């Protein structure tokens, strides 16, 4: 089934996720043969972005599209224009809108007034469905190199994914767990500072699906049992006061949320380390040389997955 808008991972079926991954794999392995010279993508970013914004533009250009890029600072939102009026206006200028907004639910709101497809490029602490798709593409591809098939229903071994850092505010994690839950024999470990734990509604949803979840253990204890480390930064911009932020990042326990060469000595040789980026101090720059570090591969994979997403939307 073709999706007009891409707003939430709850829209996806397992078959659609697999289809997106296969198409992204094709784009990665083959020169692009698909062209949409008559299509225009509009990117509207109300929050700072490097990877999501640039990869959507790169994906569009590789598909032969035109691109109109706007930011909050260059739009009439600075004059008090509502999101609804901005979207109604942009609907006349292109064929799809990639929207980043600081307010949860903004992408869904945009779909109610848009005449063209809306792609959620991150809505506050809500969701980031295109990041989830590029992440599942990365997990599938990297584990496949290690002879682990994420998609195989015949796989009997358990795949353990450990999420580390700000699990409360991470829209990338909130979307990714929903997608991972579609596949068999998955187990989650949560390592988060107090007050930044995984939201209860997600934990409850996964409990209903009988997915194993372990929380409140030390990173050291998770190392030998983890196949995928998904690290996130403590998001300064989500805190009400800097005192609350620094009470975590300057605490003695902060090292429990950081990946260093020393702690990686206890990890599986087949493990992979992921991060949606940007990073601050939670992953040492020395880790970049570790063959298990794949966060810059995530960056590359973002272009191919967003090519698959745009092809899907423009072909609807």
Terminal-to-terminal C-alpha distance of the chain: 9
State the Cα–Cα distance between residues 309 and 299, nearest whole angstrom.
16
Q: Which residues contact 158 (CB under 8 A, 6 or more apart)?
A: 185, 186, 187, 212
286 contacts: CB under 8 Å, gap ≥ 6: 260, 261
Catalytic residues: 51-52, 79, 100, 128
In our burial notation (b when 16+ CB lie closer than 10 A, e otherwise), range 227-264 reads bbbbbbbbbeebbeeeeebeebbeeeeeebbbbeeebb
The domain segmentation of the chain, as residue ranges, is 9-127+301-314, 129-298
**Topology of 129-298 in CATH?**
Rossmann fold (3.40.50)
Segment 74-126, tens digit of pLDDT: 566 666 778 899 999 999 999 999 999 988 889 999 999 999 999 999 887 77
| Matching fold, domains 9-127+301-314 and 129-298 | yes
Q: Which fold has domain 9-127+301-314?
A: Rossmann fold (3.40.50)
pLDDT reported for residue 79: 64
- Rounded to whole angstroms, how far apart are CA atoms 314 and 41? 10
The rounded distance, in Å, linking the Cα atoms of 24 and 220 is 35
pTM of the model: 0.92
pLDDT of residue 299: 95
Q: Place 48 in a pLDDT band, splitting at 50, 70 and 90.
A: confident
Flag whether pLDDT at 169 surpasses 80: yes
Which 3 state secondary structure label does DSSP give 189?
A: strand
d(CA 208, CA 120): 26
Q: What is the mean pLDDT of the chain?
A: 90
pLDDT on residue 117: 95
Please say if the pLDDT value at position 239 is more than 70. no
pLDDT score recorded for residue 186:
96
């Amino acid at each position: 089934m073709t999706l007009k808008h891409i707003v939430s991972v709850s829209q996806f079926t397992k078959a659609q996720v697999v289809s997106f991954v296969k198409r992204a794999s094709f784009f990665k392995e083959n020169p692009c043969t698909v062209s949409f010279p008559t299509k225009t993508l509009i990117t509207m970013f109300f929050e700072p972005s490097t990877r999501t914004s640039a990869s959507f533009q790169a994906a569009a250009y590789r598909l032969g599209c035109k691109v109109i890029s706007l930011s909050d600072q260059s739009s009439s939102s600075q004059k008090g224009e509502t999101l609804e009026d901005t979207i109604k206006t942009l609907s006349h200028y292109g064929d799809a809108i990639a929207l980043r907004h600081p307010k949860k639910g903004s992408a869904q709101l945009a779909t109610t007034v848009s005449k063209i497809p809306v792609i959620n490029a991150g809505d506050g602490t809500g969701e980031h469905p295109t990041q989830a798709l590029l992440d599942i593409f990365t997990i599938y591809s990297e584990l496949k190199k290690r002879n682990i098939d994420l998609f195989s229903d015949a796989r009997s071994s358990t795949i353990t994914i450990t999420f580390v850092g700000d699990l409360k505010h991470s829209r990338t994690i909130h979307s990714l767990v929903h997608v991972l839950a579609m596949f068999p024999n998955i187990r989650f470990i949560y390592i988060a500072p107090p007050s930044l734990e995984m939201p209860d509604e997600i934990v409850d949803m996964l409990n209903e699906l009988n997915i194993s979840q372990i929380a409140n253990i030390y990173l050291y204890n998770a190392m030998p049992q983890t196949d995928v480390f998904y690290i996130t930064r403590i998001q300064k911009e989500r805190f009400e006061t800097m005192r609350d932020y620094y009470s975590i990042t300057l605490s003695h326990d902060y090292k429990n949320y950081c990946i260093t060469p020393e702690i990686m000595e206890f990890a599986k040789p087949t493990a992979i380390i992921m991060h949606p980026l940007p990073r601050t101090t939670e992953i040492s720059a020395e880790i970049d040389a570790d063959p298990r570090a794949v966060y810059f591969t995530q960056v590359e994979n973002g272009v191919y997955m967003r090519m698959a997403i745009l092809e899907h939307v423009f072909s609807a």
